[in-house]
Structure 1
Amino acid sequence: MTAPLADRETVHAGCIAIGEAGILIRGASGSGKSTMAREMVRQARAEGLFSGIVSDDRTRLEAAHGRLVARPVTTIAGYREVRGIGIVRASFEAAAVIRLVIDLSEDAPERHPEGAESQVRLCGVLLRRIRAQTGAPLLDLALGSLSGVYDAVVTL
């Protein structure tokens, strides 16, 4: 059964899976989404965690049973852009349930973000969100946010 159109969309974002959690990484073209995704996956693997890239550049989102499921766009599944090299073929995960959204920006985020800034609604599903400057080391913060360790920081 296919979800209604209001419950699905394709977004300009990459998606990774770490453990059981999908992390959607959004940002403008050239903001470092792909680089951040590769670095977070590399760091997670070095720490002995399951991790993989679901999608690069464009991600298909669909609400299912109160969760947001991310999948690669079929025509570009398994392809990644590496700056200075071009498009390369790579392994990928078929899907992930999104538990965190990271929004990248060239500018530093608010030092004390409003509570509303710590959440975002996609396809009708409310998700935790972190705003971060391009290049920020995010694996520990992302993992802590998913486990509740950084709730006070993320929801100030």
Structure 2
Amino acid sequence: MSAPETLHATCVAINEHAILIRGASGSGKSGLALRLLTLGAGLVADDRTCLWREGGTLWADAPDTIRGRIEARGVGILSVPATGPRKVALVVDMDEIETKRLPEKREMRIMGIMLPVLNKCESPHFPAALTLYLRTESTK
């Protein structure tokens, strides 16, 4: 197991697999996570995510101080059941907007592990597509 690192990222999971949502403050990380939570995802971590590597797997969990808590702008801090640790299967980059209907495949290396990356999509279907991705693509 590698030494844990904490990233400025939010993380949600469906079953065993997680989406790591990266981006600058105010980019919509927590907002996307809230939409995914309403579609059945579980909260791993909001705003700060602890990552570590075990073999060829990247794991994510919440720091103890924020476990089970997510910020909802204009509402406050909400408490939800904590889910974690989970295996990271996908990265969403909230700082880049996807403009292509069928984007090329992208990858990002985190802690020496290559992971697929999707850019932020401003279409209303994006959270549903991410949910289906975790349920289908991440298990291949």
After TM superposition, is the score higher than 0.5? yes
Instruction: Tell me how large the CA RMSD over aligned residues is.
Output: 2.3
Structure 2 unaligned blocks of 5 or more: none
1:109 aligns with 2:98: yes
Q: Residue 10 of structure 1 aligns to which amino acid in structure 2?
A: T
Per the alignment, residue 55 of structure 1 pairs with 45
Bigger mean CA offset, 27-36 vs 81-90: 81-90
Aligned residues between the structures: 136
Secondary structure (helix, strand or coil) at the match of 2:10 reads strand
Q: Percent identity?
A: 36
1:65 corresponds to which of 52, 55, 58: 55
Distance 1:89 1:41 in 2: 12
Distance 1:30 1:98 in 2: 23
Q: In proportion to residue count, which structure has more helix?
A: 1
Per the alignment, residue 108 of structure 2 pairs with 120
Distance 2:64 2:81 in 1: 14
Per the alignment, residue 137 of structure 1 pairs with 125
Distance 2:7 2:123 in 1: 21
Distance 1:135 1:72 in 2: 28
Contact 1:120 1:127 in 2 (8 A): yes
Structure 1 unaligned blocks of 5 or more: 46-50, 149-156
Per the alignment, residue 74 of structure 2 pairs with 84
